[in-house]
Amino acid sequence: MDNYYFVGAVWNGDEDKTNEFLECGYWEMGWSPADKPKLAEQVNQIKPGEWIAIKAVSVQKNNLPFAGVPLGKSVSKMTIKAIGQVASNPQNGKRVYVDWQTDFKVKDWFFFTYRGTFWRINEQGQWWSQYASKLIDFAFNNKPQDYDYFVKNWSWNQEAIEMDEKNEMGGEHEALALNTILYGPPGTGKTFNTVDIAWQILNTNDSADTTRPGSIQELKSRYPGQVEFVTFHQSFSYEDFVEGIQAKTHDGKISYQVEDGVFKALAKSSLKNLQDSKKSLTELNQEVEFKSRLTDFLSNAIETEQGFDKKRGNPFYIVEVEQDSITLHSVDSKFNEGNIAVSLDDLMAVCTSLIDFEAPKDIAQQLFNKRHARQHDSYLFSLWQAFKRFNQHNNSTVEVAETVKVLPHVLIIDEINRGNISRIFGELITLIEPSKRAGNDEVIEVTLPYSKEPFSVPNNLYIIGTMNTADRSLALMDTALRRRFDFIEMMPQPGLVTEDLEGVDLRKMLQVMNQRIEALYDREHTLGHAFLMSVDSLDDLRHAFKNKILPLLEEYFYDDWQKIRWVLGASADNFYVPQSFSHLFSGNDANIENKFLRNNLDDLDDEAFVAIYQS
């Protein structure tokens, strides 16, 4: 598989190095490899013989060389300044030597562009490969750009790239909306495109990942701990999403603990990253050292079955340590068969506090601002005392921490409109508002109902939802949710399917069928291009109609056979045959509406499908 590279040539904001690169026969990035190690790794991956282009990305709204752009929309433009073939790569992470073409004329490419310094593309089987192939032909094979193709098939709901040449080298990506919902009819690639949007958010300029992930699972593998995926449904609740009480067993004994839902867990992780990014190296080192010693302390207590004394009663023991909690066992406790869940965050807060606690009530009053001591405070007090004694004899070494960068985190919510929004989000409906996020001046913090913990949503957590408009109209969405999300419409793109499948123009067929559906029903119930994307033969097409398209039409136009036949046009009789009930009744008294049965599609030829779109 051949790779092609599009690179920037502006250093320090305004120093264009293009002419120097062309005269000296090389391309070089504007940073030292030590400052941009991931970008240096990308440079080292370039192979001799591969093609490279110097580019500059901007945006254009007026005087475009083509018509058909929706009113008020801008188009992303990439100026190709030079092209050449890589002669050698010294593997220094900074420079490659290039045989630049001396007779190349600068030209502009529109629509499919990339703002980062370094862009590697190829023609592998991704959804965007169709665009990549056309760009490669334009830049390196001197073929003209097919403007009509892009005007017809481009998603005009995507905002144009607002970036000039000065920001190209090392410029940050344009801020994407924190809360976004992709909505449209079934089969328009909403869930599929969440991967692309999430990748744009997660893939920072110095990342070595220059190829878009092919699935959500691959996205999660590339960015561990930064991506979560969940599907809403009618039984999904606040307890699944934020937090709830869950039953757990240990050694046959049951206990009940507050457990974080998928959203709270990811929000806590992203908030921790946001807070760590503001800490000095000294603070981070201290934290790493503390966590190492606390881990040693807890592990030793479990291995040695160490008992911890309280002021009154029998000793208690640590039986299990999980990601967010510690399970203790005390014969004095009459609840949960003696099992007690203590928050690991609470223990860390007590052990890192500079307060010299004299009694459990001091923890409650001075650290957690509670009037009276809770049962957990007695356990925390005993663990704090034991941890101090343990530290006096613990000389373990720890790794030195590095400074932390703010990392974006992404929660993908599929079928967001199928859940009870008010029930699932609860108080979060206010907290997810961009201006109310942690890290902003107007941050709002609430106390959660089960754990009683303070909680806010950080501004490095993105929410991407999908919504099938055929399942529920956009007009029925919760008004509070609509106000807090940006909505991007995803409509069918016939240009993504083939024009010639054994004599059948799938593109024309999809266009005509959708025009009829829009006239008979509405645009929210049209057929998505995904139904025909994987069709490679007439057998595949028959299968798509039999198992996907016809069942969907029958659902849309329930028992209205005439409208279904109108959608299929002149080919209706090839797909449905009338039923006769006259033999069941005597005389002509029975007034029965025409009903139809689906025909056997196994023997349909290309003419049956062509007749759908031919008048």
Per-residue model confidence as pLDDT tens digits over 512-531: 999 999 999 988 899 999 89
d(CA 607, CA 493): 24
d(CA 497, CA 544): 13
d(CA 29, CA 16): 12
d(CA 111, CA 147): 9
Q: Tell how far CA 369 is from the center of its chain.
A: 38
pLDDT value at 122 more than 80: no
- pLDDT at residue 580, as a whole number: 76
pLDDT value at 431 more than 80: yes
CA angle 504, 506, 512 (to 5 degrees): 110
Q: 486-489 and 118-121 as β-strands: parallel, antiparallel, unpaired?
A: unpaired
For residue 179, the SS3 value is strand
- pLDDT at residue 140, as a whole number: 94
Mean pLDDT of 75-91: 94
**Dihedral sign, CA of 171, 174, 175, 180?**
negative
What is the per-residue pLDDT across 32-65, written as a single tens digit (0 to 9) for each? Answer: 888 888 788 889 999 999 999 999 988 887 788 8
pLDDT value at 173 more than 50: no
Cβ–Cβ under 8 Å, residues 392 and 375: no
- Percent of the chain scored above 90 by pLDDT? 31
For the chain, the C-alpha Rg in angstroms (whole number) is 31
For residue 440, the SS3 value is strand
CA distances from 304 to 37, 308, 318 (A): 44, 12, 10
Provide the pLDDT confidence category of residue 496 given band limits of 50, 70 and 90. Answer: confident
pLDDT value at 175 more than 60: no
Q: Which of the two residues, 394 and 538, has the higher pLDDT score?
A: 538
pLDDT value at 588 more than 70: no
d(CA 94, CA 497): 41
Mean pLDDT of 256-285: 87
Mean pLDDT of 252-257: 71
**What six digits make up the tokens of 611?**
């007749």
Neighbours of 297 (CB within 10 A): 20
Phi, then psi, of 587 in degrees rounded to 5: 70, -165
pLDDT value at 503 more than 50: yes
d(CA 410, CA 36): 24
Phi, then psi, of 425 in degrees rounded to 5: -80, -35
Q: Where in the chain is the domain with CATH 3.40.50.300?
A: 179-241+405-489
Average pLDDT over the chain reads 84
- pLDDT at residue 241, as a whole number: 93
- pLDDT at residue 389, as a whole number: 87
pLDDT value at 475 more than 60: no
- pLDDT at residue 523, as a whole number: 87
- Considering the domain 179-241+405-489, what is its CATH architecture? 3-Layer(aba) Sandwich (3.40)
What is the per-residue pLDDT across 294-327, written as a single tens digit (0 to 9) for each? Answer: 888 899 888 888 999 887 778 889 888 887 788 8
Neighbours of 598 (CB within 10 A): 14
Burial of 5 (0-12, 13-18, 19+ CB in 10 A): buried
- pLDDT at residue 53, as a whole number: 96
pLDDT value at 126 more than 60: no
Provide the pLDDT confidence category of residue 168 given band limits of 50, 70 and 90. Answer: very low
Structure-derived torsion over alpha carbons of residues 59, 65, 71, 74, reported in degrees to the nearest 10: -10
